[in-house]
């Protein structure tokens, strides 16, 4: 793969790549990981207890990147808030302490981790609790069929009109006509909203 991002992309270039989506987003994610993984790993290991955990610093780093990307896409993080490294370290620290405190015995938790837990940044802690609540909804949308998922992604994430979606899906042979696309969207939307609301209530 040829990275269109430079070898040492700036924070701005990475954020722009993520927001651009598609191939550029993939390149930005790879660049982001390559740029920060050494310092993040060192940062996490420095805060480890020496015990073996099922989750490795590598897993925490990718979870942190995921949380960060969601926030960029939702517009809740901007580079005015902090540098990428500081922000990612903050997420990593929270994820890591949260994880090892879950793994530790009650006594250990009282003695060692709760003190650290108290120091966690509130906004990031909220974000992590929120993240856990989303797991179920993610699993629901992942159960949707390929065509359903494609239509809903185009409509609600990319913000395309139904006319634009029909044109694309008819052109690539997925659907025969405009009406079948509209029917499929209505059916998919109804089905997923039923699943979501039945859980939500």
Partner 1 sequence: MIDMLQNQIEDYVAGGMKGKEKQAFEEQIKGNPTLQQQVEEVKLLREALLRAQVRANIANARNYINRPKRSLAYVLGSFSAAAAVVFFLLSTAVTFSPKKFNYRGDDVPSSVATQTRVNDYQKATELVEKGDNPVEAIKILERLKNNENVSKNYQNESKWMLVVAYLQAGEAEKAEKVFDEVKWEDTGRPFSVWEITKINWQIFWGKIF
CA-to-CA distance for 28 and 102, rounded, in angstroms? 32
Nearer to partner 1, 86 or 197 (CB): 197
| Residue numbers 72-91 binding partner 1 by CB under 8 A | 73-74
- Which of 86, 105, 142, 198 forms a contact with partner 1 (CB under 8 A)? 142
Q: Select the residue interacting with partner 1 from 53, 99, 117, 137 (CB under 8 A).
A: 137
Candidates 1, 2, 54, 171; binder of partner 1 (CB under 8 A) is: 1
User: Is the separation of the CB atoms in 40 and 88 below 8 Å?
Assistant: yes
By CB under 8 A, name the one of 110, 134, 176, 177 that touches partner 1.
Answer: 134
Q: Does 159 engage in binding with partner 1 (CB under 8 A)?
A: yes
Considering the complex, what minimum distance in angstroms separates the CB of residue 93 from partner 1? Answer: 19
Residue 109 is given by DSSP the state I
Counting every residue, how long is the chain? 201
Q: Which helix (H) or strand (E) holds 47?
A: none
Nearer of residues 120 and 195 to partner 1, judged by Cβ: 195
Q: Which string of DSSP letters, residue by residue, matches 51-102?
A: ---SS-HHHHHHHHHHHHHHHHHHT---TTT--HHHHHHHHHHHHHHHHHHH
Segment near partner 1 (CB under 8 A), from 3-11, 90-98, 117-125, 189-197? 189-197
Q: How far is CA 34 from CA 64, 159, 174, in A?
A: 14, 31, 37
Joined together, the tokens standing for residue 128 give 């992590």
| 19 touches partner 1 by CB under 8 A | no
- Binding region for partner 1 (CB under 8 A) out of 25-33, 82-90, 104-112, 171-179: 25-33
């Amino acid at each position: 793969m040829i990275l269109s991002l430079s070898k040492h992309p700036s924070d701005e270039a990475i954020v722009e790549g993520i927001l651009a989506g598609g191939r550029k987003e993939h390149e930005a994610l790879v660049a982001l990981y390559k740029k920060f993984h050494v310092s993040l790993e060192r940062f996490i290991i420095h805060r480890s207890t020496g015990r073996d955990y099922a989750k490795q610093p590598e897993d925490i780093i990718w979870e942190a990147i995921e949380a960060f990307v969601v926030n960029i896409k939702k517009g809740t993080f901007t580079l005015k808030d902090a540098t990428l490294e500081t922000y990612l370290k903050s997420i990593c620290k929270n994820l890591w302490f949260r994880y090892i405190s879950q793994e530790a015995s009650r006594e250990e938790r009282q003695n060692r981790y709760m003190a650290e837990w108290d120091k966690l940044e509130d906004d990031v802690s909220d974000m992590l609790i929120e993240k856990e609540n989303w797991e179920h909804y993610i699993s629901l949308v992942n159960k949707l069929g390929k065509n359903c998922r494609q239509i809903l992604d185009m409509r609600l994430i990319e913000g395309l009109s139904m006319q634009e979606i029909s044109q694309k899906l008819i052109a690539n042979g997925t659907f025969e006509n405009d009406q079948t696309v509209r029917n499929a969207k209505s059916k998919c939307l109804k089905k997923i909203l039923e699943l979501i609301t039945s859980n939500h209530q």
